Amino acid sequence: MRNLGPILTVVAAIVVIWYAGAVGLNAAWSKDQAARAGVELSFGEMVSQTLSQDRPKLPAPHQVAVELWQSTWVEETQGRRGLVRSGSLSNRSLVYHGWLTLSATLLGFAIGTGAGVLLAVGIVYNRAMDMSVMPWAIASQTIPILAIAPMIIVVLNSIGISGLLPKAIISAYLSFFPVVVGMVKGLRSPDAMQLDLLRTYSASGGQAFWKLRLPASMPYFFASLKVAIAASLVGAIVGELPVQQGGLGARLLAGSYYGQTAQIWAALFAAAALAAVLVGIVGVIQRRTLTRMGMAR
């Protein structure tokens, strides 16, 4: 909590800059309107107008907050298609779209992490696999994988697979490589001394894996999980761009088509909140697990 003061200061500075930017970017439109109506704007009037436009270039923070509130709580409790009136989540609310994105993210994350751990075990125990697959796993981190996302979506869509799975595949693909690289490092982290000790106990290969290598890899595992879950979310959002079937990515694109800037920002903040919560949950599990294992720093 020592950092709370500085953090709040920085956040406050960002909000102030944001308001200033909103006034600056939206001023042109307000002046234009005033000139057409033939009125002279005082500075105060101009500021208040720039912060309350319908389709501002940059919505002010409070406008985004209002939009977030409207498209979650208000839409679900009072909207015609909301949860209270219709019994199901409204397709105009961020809760619904956020859930679509979240489910694809989690499914992809689970697949990618599972496959990544399996491949890492294979790489650590099989020399041929290590020498032939590992360079590609490392090289693939330098490749903009996300560029393939729309193609996977459209191709899978054309052969009849749509909905959750294509997005989850992209998420899985993005979260796969960080886990592989991290886990290989982790499974190799026990040093020769520790491995020798197990040999003096005449431990079998399986025992060495379960009792030494796997526990030793946990710090690396969680570090790569944090990267992987953030990457999964980005993958799911980008996966929603080409085929408009809901989700935060679809909201972003729809907002940009119709010039609904507040909607874009609200979707962006919902995505940010989702990312923060997901990374936070992984962080909590990490701290708990490592503390119980006596590995917390």
Partner 1 sequence: MSYRDLKYGRTADMLLRMDGIFLPIACVVSAGWIDPSLGMIVAVWLGAWWVNAWIASYDMSITRLAAPVLFGATLLVLWEMAVRLYNIPSVILPAPSAIAARMAASPDILWADLVQTVFKGALSGYLIGCGAAVLTAIAIDRSPFLQRGLLPVGNFVAALPIVGVAPIMVMWFNFGWESKAAVVVIMIFFPMLVNTVEGLKATEAMQRDLMKTYSAGYWQTLFKLRLPAAMPFIFNGLKITTTLALIGAIVAEFFGSPVLGMGFRISTSIGLLELELVWAEIVVAAVVGSMFYGGVALLERMVTFWHPSQRG
Cβ closer to partner 1: 212 or 240? 240
Contact 238, 249 (CB under 8 A): yes
d(CA 241, CA 267): 13
Based on the shown chain and the rule CB under 8 A, indicate whether residue 279 belongs to the binding site for partner 1. yes
Contact 208, 253 (CB under 8 A): no
Q: What number of chain residues touch partner 1 (CB under 8 A)?
A: 61
Distances (CA, A) of 263 to 60, 71, 153, 245, 270: 12, 9, 24, 17, 10
Q: ∠ CA(98), CA(288), CA(122), 5° rounding? A: 80
CA neighbor of 119 nearest in space, from 168, 169, 175, 167: 175
Based on the shown chain and the rule CB under 8 A, indicate whether residue 200 belongs to the binding site for partner 1. no
Residues in the chain, overall count? 297
d(CA 206, CA 229): 29
With the C-alpha atoms ordered 163, 137, 225, 273, is the resulting torsion angle positive or negative?
negative
SS (H, E, C) 36-86: HHCCCCCHHHHHHHHCCCCCCCCCCHHHHHHHHHHHHHHHHHHCCCCHHHH
Based on the shown chain and the rule CB under 8 A, indicate whether residue 256 belongs to the binding site for partner 1. yes
Contact 101, 274 (CB under 8 A): yes
CB of 253 to partner 1, least distance (A): 7
Q: Which of 37, 38, 40, 142 binds partner 1 (CB under 8 A)?
A: 142
Tokens (6 digits) for 247: 């989700």
CB of 106 to partner 1, least distance (A): 15
Tokens 């994105």 — which residue?
101
CB of 213 to partner 1, least distance (A): 21
Based on the shown chain and the rule CB under 8 A, indicate whether residue 272 belongs to the binding site for partner 1. yes
d(CA 46, CA 155): 50
Based on the shown chain and the rule CB under 8 A, indicate whether residue 154 belongs to the binding site for partner 1. yes
Based on the shown chain and the rule CB under 8 A, indicate whether residue 1 belongs to the binding site for partner 1. no
Q: Which of 68, 183, 225, 238 binds partner 1 (CB under 8 A)?
A: 238
Cβ closer to partner 1: 203 or 275? 275
Provide the mask over 50-89, with x wherever binding to partner 1 is found by CB under 8 A and - wherever it is not. Answer: -------xx-------------------------------
Cβ closer to partner 1: 82 or 249? 249
Q: Which of 47, 198, 275, 290 binds partner 1 (CB under 8 A)?
A: 275
Q: Which of 81, 253, 289, 290 binds partner 1 (CB under 8 A)?
A: 253
Could you list the residues that contact partner 1 (CB under 8 A)? Answer: 2-3, 5-11, 14, 25, 57-58, 127-128, 130-136, 139, 141-144, 146-148, 150-151, 154-155, 158-159, 226, 230, 233-234, 237-238, 241-242, 248-249, 252-253, 255-256, 259, 261, 264-265, 267-268, 271-272, 275-276, 279
